Chain A
């Protein structure tokens, strides 16, 4: 049995408190009045000299070019544009703590969801190497229910108590003037959003609940009935998962840009969550092993997990590039704006994450010997996790805060808040059951596994 060390518990609580303070600070400082924003923009324009003024004008023109092209010469209209521009920036500044919170909440939720999918695949494929890691995976997936509820609550709150800070399709005033969103409103409406979210979370949590239940029951059973049941529900869950994961990615992520769509987006988000989930399995297993709780996990298991990290980093890159290259190549205006926004305002995070998520792991984890060295896997794992945080950041931020992004107090404290919550929930769950499955049919094979 694992006991939650006092130190780690205190550490996770400190993270949550610090995070909460920072998130509060983010919300307190994001409400800028019209005059404040006007002043801010003026000082920025002053600071940047003529350049600031130029971007100001083109920006106003670009966002309202139907209006601006013939009438922007008139003074009355120019004043109107000015007001609109400032309101636009004001909204972006107000969005920042919401988006920061949402990105971090989604990031930790997706780790748990990725691990759940990985676990189901291990059970359904009757993998012989991984059963010694099952309890670690079950521990991580305990974060799924609270994590997913928090994500959905933030999304709903942004459209009810907030001022439509994440999803502009929740704003009836925007929808009224937007033919494109009107056309999609059969799918993109708050009621539908809540119903679908409930179905997704209920389905995932039910699988998580029963797989855990059968897994624990198998420990003390005298036949393999529970094993067979867990095998069946794993196969069923994987079918349910691939549909709901795809729809979840449309609802929770793609709809922040309601004018844009991409067919392989669901897979792309899946790749991101899968590789982050596997990385977290490796990190937590190594932590527990270093504390002496997982003596039955050896370097061969680590080697296999690291191979998954390596392979799915490449899989993620394949999907990232396929999505990017197809849109870049055909350059259709309605699709390509997505990447133009990212290239203009997010060049470093957008291209940096390819280095973090592809170049770094491919060079670090290609060698078979390196995959067996714990500190090496930990180091690479941390880089991969950071890279995938940036990936989610790149999905949400351009649509919510635009060029007003920064990784500052709101972003870092949101990460701390959810990291603390994640550690607290996961390690509490790890204390609830022995760390080695007992009567699992593949247990012996897994313990003797060597590569």
Chain B
């Protein structure tokens, strides 16, 4: 891929950042990425990001867990070796179901929670020994960074960003990757 140029605008306040995002969006510039040290409420809405669907995946993972629990216990306790254990009715799954509910519940939660977390890691590309994608170390402490793509309109963009209260504006050659 060709190397492209981006502008890094740095802010020191999340309220200023929010109004800057709204202004840049209104001028129809494309915001590539925003780096913040902490979650800024409403930033995703202001940027126009699509809502997450991770809750839907969690629901489905939960159903998988529930199915695993039911199939497993039905096979082990009812089909494979239906012993009489303390007089519990192992004739059918339904008759002995109350005893299985704690496991059904726990496996549902287990699958929903763990698979959702793994999904989150995969979708946000996080794993041990991953190289940090951080353009400026200050963004993990007290600075906010907005990355805007440049398409030959540098000076106009710089002017706009300065107006929005950016304390520092850097033109960066982004490596192709």
Residues of A within 8 A of B (CB): 321, 324-325, 328-329, 331, 366, 368
Across the interface, which residues of A come within 8 angstroms of B87, CB to CB? 331
Across the interface, which residues of A come within 8 angstroms of B99, CB to CB? 325, 329
Residues A329 and B98 in contact, CB atoms below 8 Å apart: yes
B contacts with A: majority SS:
helix
- In the bound assembly, the distance between CA atoms of A368 and B59 in angstroms comes to 13
Interchain nearest-CB distance for A307 vs B (Å): 14
Across the interface, which residues of A come within 8 angstroms of B98, CB to CB? 321, 324-325, 328-329
Q: Mark B28-64, 1 if CB is under 8 A from A, else 0.
A: 0000000000000000000000000001000100000
Residues of chain B from 48 to 100 with CB closer than 8 A to chain A in the complex: 55, 59, 87, 98-99
Across the interface, which residues of B come within 8 angstroms of A321, CB to CB? 98, 101
Residues A325 and B59 in contact, CB atoms below 8 Å apart: no
By beta carbon, the residue of chain A nearest B87 is A331
- In the bound assembly, the distance between CA atoms of A368 and B98 in angstroms comes to 30
Across the interface, which residues of B come within 8 angstroms of A329, CB to CB? 98-99
Total number of B residues with any Cβ neighbor in A under 8 Å: 6
Q: Mark B87-117, 1 if CB is under 8 A from A, else 0.
A: 1000000000011010000000000000000
- 4 further A-B contacts with Cβ under 8 Å, apart from A321-B98, A321-B101, are A324-B98, A325-B98, A325-B99, A328-B98
Across the interface, which residues of B come within 8 angstroms of A328, CB to CB? 98
By beta carbon, the residue of chain A nearest B99 is A329
By beta carbon, the residue of chain B nearest A330 is B86
Across the interface, which residues of B come within 8 angstroms of A325, CB to CB? 98-99, 101
By beta carbon, the residue of chain A nearest B102 is A325
By beta carbon, the residue of chain B nearest A321 is B101
Across the interface, which residues of B come within 8 angstroms of A366, CB to CB? 59
- In the bound assembly, the distance between CA atoms of A329 and B98 in angstroms comes to 8
Interchain nearest-CB distance for B167 vs A (Å): 30
- In the bound assembly, the distance between CA atoms of A310 and B101 in angstroms comes to 20
Across the interface, which residues of A come within 8 angstroms of B55, CB to CB? 368
Interchain nearest-CB distance for A129 vs B (Å): 16
- In the bound assembly, the distance between CA atoms of A201 and B104 in angstroms comes to 42
Report which residue of B55, B98, B99, B101 has the largest number of chain A beta carbons within 10 angstroms of its beta carbon. B98
- In the bound assembly, the distance between CA atoms of A328 and B102 in angstroms comes to 14
Interchain nearest-CB distance for B8 vs A (Å): 32
Interchain nearest-CB distance for B171 vs A (Å): 38
A-B contact pairs, 12 of them (CB 8 A): A321-B98, A321-B101, A324-B98, A325-B98, A325-B99, A325-B101, A328-B98, A329-B98, A329-B99, A331-B87, A366-B59, A368-B55
Across the interface, which residues of A come within 8 angstroms of B101, CB to CB? 321, 325
By beta carbon, the residue of chain B nearest A367 is B55
Interchain nearest-CB distance for B160 vs A (Å): 30
- In the bound assembly, the distance between CA atoms of A328 and B95 in angstroms comes to 11
Across the interface, which residues of B come within 8 angstroms of A368, CB to CB? 55
- Pairs A-B, 9 closest by C-beta atoms: A325-B98, A328-B98, A329-B99, A321-B101, A325-B101, A329-B98, A324-B98, A366-B59, A331-B87
Interchain nearest-CB distance for A343 vs B (Å): 12
- In the bound assembly, the distance between CA atoms of A325 and B105 in angstroms comes to 14
- In the bound assembly, the distance between CA atoms of A368 and B99 in angstroms comes to 32
By beta carbon, the residue of chain B nearest A325 is B98
- In the bound assembly, the distance between CA atoms of A321 and B98 in angstroms comes to 8
- In the bound assembly, the distance between CA atoms of A298 and B118 in angstroms comes to 36
- In the bound assembly, the distance between CA atoms of A294 and B98 in angstroms comes to 45
By beta carbon, the residue of chain B nearest A326 is B98
Across the interface, which residues of B come within 8 angstroms of A324, CB to CB? 98
Interchain nearest-CB distance for A79 vs B (Å): 38
Interchain nearest-CB distance for B70 vs A (Å): 15
Across the interface, which residues of B come within 8 angstroms of A331, CB to CB? 87
Interchain nearest-CB distance for A338 vs B (Å): 15
- In the bound assembly, the distance between CA atoms of A240 and B59 in angstroms comes to 40
By beta carbon, the residue of chain B nearest A328 is B98
By beta carbon, the residue of chain A nearest B98 is A325
- In the bound assembly, the distance between CA atoms of A51 and B16 in angstroms comes to 81
By beta carbon, the residue of chain A nearest B56 is A367
- In the bound assembly, the distance between CA atoms of A331 and B95 in angstroms comes to 14
